[in-house]
Structure 1
Amino acid sequence: MAARVAILGLMIHALLLAAPTANSEPRGFRATLIRREKAINYPRAAQQSYDRLSTLAARVTSTQTPLRSDNEGAYDMEVSIGTPPQNLTAIADTGSDLVWAKCGSCPTCMPKDSPSYYPNKSSTFSKLPCTNRLCVALEEQGQATCGARGTECDYKYSYGLSGDDYTQGYLGNETFTLGGDAVQGIGFGCTNMSNGNYGTGSGLVGLGRGPLSLVSQMGVGAFSYCLIPDPSMASPLLFGSLANLTGSGVQSTRFLQSGTFYNVNLRSITIGNARTPGTGPNGIVFDSGTTLTYLSEPAYTLARIAIVSQTSLPRVADTDGFGPCYQVTGNNTSGTVPTMVLHFDGANMNLPVANYFVEVESGVVCWVVQRSPSLSIIGNIMQANYHIKYDLDKKALSFQPANCSSM
């Protein structure tokens, strides 16, 4: 009898140590975000950010319009797929849901020179049938069809209204490894054809609020990141119990509505000694995949006026769509530009100058907030050096100033 009890105890212990599944109890995972380019090309970032803004705004009224990714200044996530693990990088995107990677040789996939995941080299790969809830979710969006007598869920996920940019393939089930932790049962797109600008990585990891996203499938309830602007350093991406914010300076605000995007209410903006209005009932979206920040009217014009009237630097011509712009010596703006504070419901974000003024060319700094014809977005430049938590369970966003390189 004692031997049986001992054996049972060992079996239970082994089960507790086994790799978690996507639907197991929340625990902590750590991943890494990296930036590929040595320096941001700001004119290109402006164009790509505007393209992304356009498709994001379109998706507010059309669930069939996923986002175009903005790879200039975007952050890639390091992830391993399969058993044994195959190491890849993919754009980390809080503004979309689908997780996908290039599969096989994929001669018609973009970008052509990035590595692929090979399902035939993994012992844990399987195809998802049409009855799977992830396939049903894609079908409801008009993005999936069922072939092979229902044993294969084929998708064509179009980016933008034109449909020229897309990823196409079939849904699979795999083990994803984040840091040193393996998570079983992640549904993802095994792409065998794609077109568009997806940076230099091998796919895209959706971190939105919908059922297809990585964070929703893992069932961890929350994730956080702390973005380091220095491209030579990796930024932490934390899931579950590791995503906690502790210590002083933590502030929180509620999400405005359900859906993929992380909208919060921007009530007003303080610039120096001026208080300007926020962005109205649609709020503002925190988005890791957009580099620049966008404000709708009249928030943009009134904030710009406040910046111009309180900046004591020599004014120069606007540069490549950025403005106002100023001449500086040694990129020193200390005491010469006004402070900028974002006021949300129950929370205030006191921005470092480097989060809203950047050197776009030698000796010239510009305010990198842009005018939006529709939706407002807080891009990743403005989020830098903040630990930002997306709490799906509590439907709230939290943040605190942080030394991201020490996390």
Structure 2
Amino acid sequence: MLGYRKPMSPISNFCFFFLLLFFLSFSSSFLFALGDEANNYNNNDDEDEQQTIRFDLLHRHHPQVSEKLNGDMKIQDLHERMKDIHEHDRNRHRSISKSMNQKQIEDARLRAEAEAATQVEVAKSAILPPATSTPIGMKMISGADFGSSEYFVQLKVGTPAQTFMLIADTGSDLTWLKCRYRRCFGNCSGNVNHKSKNEKKQRFRHALLANQSSTFKTVSCSSTMCTNNLAELFAVAECDTPTSPCVYDYSYAGGASAKGIFAWETLTVGLTNGKEKQLRNSIIGCTEIVQGNVFDGADGVMGLGTSSYSLTYKAAENANGGGFSYCLVDHLTDQRAVSYFVLGVPTPSTSASTSSAKPPAKMSYTKLYVGDPYSSFYGVDLIGISADGQMLNIPPRVWDSYKGCGTIIDSGTSLTVLATPAFDVVMEVLTSRLKQFQQIEIEPFNFCFNNSQYTHDMAPKLRFHFGDGTVFEPPTKSYIVSVGEFISCIGIVSMPFPSLNIIGNILQQNHLWQFDFQKRRVGFAASECI
């Protein structure tokens, strides 16, 4: 059987290796290599084994997503979309502020304990360990928690494969889908596993039909996998019989939750060389009950967190793991644009086979901060902003992460956020050039104008400077944004001091962003994102 391999003698190993090379030369049937069924990544041939996993990333305003969420293909005008973006940003800002306030309280407690014990290091567990076979100890922010659901991905699940539109969530670990699973057939009234008599399952418009997948296998509630390993994924102590499925009740901030059963299943993902790969025996959630409108329209959540059961960690186990990258296209100009998300950090050998995952020649890197003092956010050491080559007179305290400020890169926030002292200085410089145009009042922006006579070379050129000398130079269209016919606005908003500065996803557009956990750095470079 293709998926099974008996122990062999050295001679047998040599013969088998020779035969394997022979067949690989003539048959594409070895795209998925031999391997132990318990190995979710199946040892593919060398080329595929080294490829990273790529997903198309669809913004929630993309017509394909909008149809799923709203039941129609309505194309909003730019002004409506910007209002929607601002509302999502406000929700996310509130959640970030709440999280940081809780973090500051915890930091104060830790500092007091550290001083009393004369300890030098505080909160060691929040810092990323070197790349090993153990999970990367890193917390990430959940788009589902914050209700942003900015980006979606498609995933093929089961055998035969069914395609689902999932929220891409870097802050949770369980990949789950709305699901229908029959625990018994015929007269089920006396079957203890027939939960329908006790609680009503939801009827989803689009769901994984688990009984029709030949590779769907439930995790039993009496197994060590359920009682120990899956505890971190909210497995509950509910076990009617030893063979009953392992149940989870996965909770998100804000009261949303997903309840269902754990199962082993086959996932089919795309590689950066254009091929597909099967991740067999992957843990998924078959969700039968959901609470919270954050999941309305979506088929489920792709967990891209850092537990040993998330897709992010599975990529970190691979040769090219230990990070992720994404490239965001300009979704304001083209609502149908498709971005991409890649699990794993490309290396020269893998980059050569695909232009989409290849780091540009002029990739710039700056230090990535995770943990204290940034809680579960991606922190960077931004120390200043310049306009047309002149550093702006922004108070240094604005960039001080230990005074409640600092800077994060956040794909879940759209508009870039600056603490008031920095915002006021930047706005003064930008408006001094733009006030020659007719001003228009449009919420939520502080400054909008008639752009019929405007070109981007008329605006000051902003550059963002990091402590190690690295400079990020976004295109002008990423901070002077078009919001309607003949209308442009300054796409930067303020937060009262002290607060985090946030490099939002609009400012990140048309750049490849690469988060390397092993080297603790974030790289960026201009890119067409194709």
Same fold (TM over 0.5): yes
Q: Return closer, same or farther for 1:393/1:175 CA change in 2, 3 Å cut-off.
A: farther
TM-score by length of 1: 0.82
Q: What SS does the corresponding residue of 2:446 show, helix, strand or coil?
A: coil
TM-score (norm 2): 0.65
Q: CA RMSD in A?
A: 3.4
State the 1:29 CA deviation. Answer: 1.9
> For structure 1, which runs of at least 5 residues remain unmatched after alignment?
none
- 1:291–1:174 CA distance, 2 compared to 1 (3 A): farther
User: For residues 259 and 419 of structure 2, what CA distance do their matches in structure 1 show?
Assistant: 34
1:170/1:191 contact within 8 Å kept: yes
Larger radius of gyration: 2
How far, CA to CA, are the matches of 1:64 and 1:15 in structure 2? 33
Q: How does 1:247-258 map to 2 (within 5 A)?
A: 247-258=360-371
Query: Does residue 224 of structure 1 match 2:325?
Result: yes
Partner of 1:358: 481
Q: Which residue of 2 aligns with 1:121?
A: 212
In the alignment, the residues of structure 2 paired with residue 309 and residue 77 of structure 1 have an alpha-carbon distance, to the nearest angstrom, of: 41
Q: Which amino acid aligns with 1:87?
A: T
The separation in 2 between residues aligned to 1:108 and 1:65, in whole angstroms, is 28
Aligned to 1:335: 457
Q: Which amino acid letter does the alignment assign opposite residue 246 of structure 1?
A: P
In the alignment, the residues of structure 1 paired with residue 153 and residue 262 of structure 2 have an alpha-carbon distance, to the nearest angstrom, of 20
Match of 1:55 among 85, 88, 95: 95
Q: Which residue of 2 aligns with 1:130?
A: 226
Higher relative contact order (CA 8 A, sep 6+): 1
Matched residue, 2:153: 77
Q: Which has the higher strand share?
A: 1
Amino acid of the structure 2 residue aligned with 1:189: G
Query: Which 10-residue stretch deviates more, 349-358 or 298-307?
Result: 298-307
* Contact 1:49–1:290, Cα closer than 8 Å, also in 2: yes
Q: Which stretch of structure 1 is more off in the superposition, 1-10 or 90-99?
A: 1-10
Deviation at 1:367, TM superposition (A): 1.4
Distance 1:262 1:303, change over 3 A: same
Q: Is this contact kept in 1: 2:416–2:492, CA < 8 A?
A: yes
Asked whether the equivalents of residues 83 and 175 of structure 1 are also in contact (C-alpha less than 8 Å), the reply is yes
1:156-203 residue CA offsets vs partner (Å, 9 max, x unmatched): 31233xx2x333334433322222222234333332222223464312
Check whether the contact 2:233–2:250 (CA below 8 A) recurs between aligned residues: no
More helix by share: 2
| Aligned-residue offset at 1:148 | 1.6
Task: Provide the aligned length of Structure 1 versus Structure 2.
Answer: 391
Q: What residue is the counterpart of 1:6 in the other structure?
A: 15
| Structure-2 residue corresponding to 1:145 | 236
Indicate the residue corresponding to 1:44 in structure 2: 84
CA spacing shift, 1:30–1:363, aligned 2, 3 Å = same
CA–CA separation in structure 1 for the residues paired with 2:32 and 2:302: 28
Question: Does the C-alpha gap of structure 1 residues 5 and 401 become closer, same or farther in structure 2, counting only changes over 3 Å?
Answer: closer
Q: Secondary structure at the match of 1:32?
A: strand
Report % sequence identity. 26
2: CA distance between counterparts of 1:341 and 1:4? Answer: 58
Query: Is 2:248 aligned against 1:154?
Result: yes
Q: For the residues of structure 2 that align with 1:64 and 1:145, how far apart are their CA atoms?
A: 24
1:87 CA drift (Å): 0.6
Report the Cα offset of residue 22 of structure 1. Answer: 4.9
1:398 & 1:231 partners in 2: Cα distance?
26
User: Using the alignment, how far apart are the partners of 1:148 and 1:16 within structure 2?
Assistant: 36
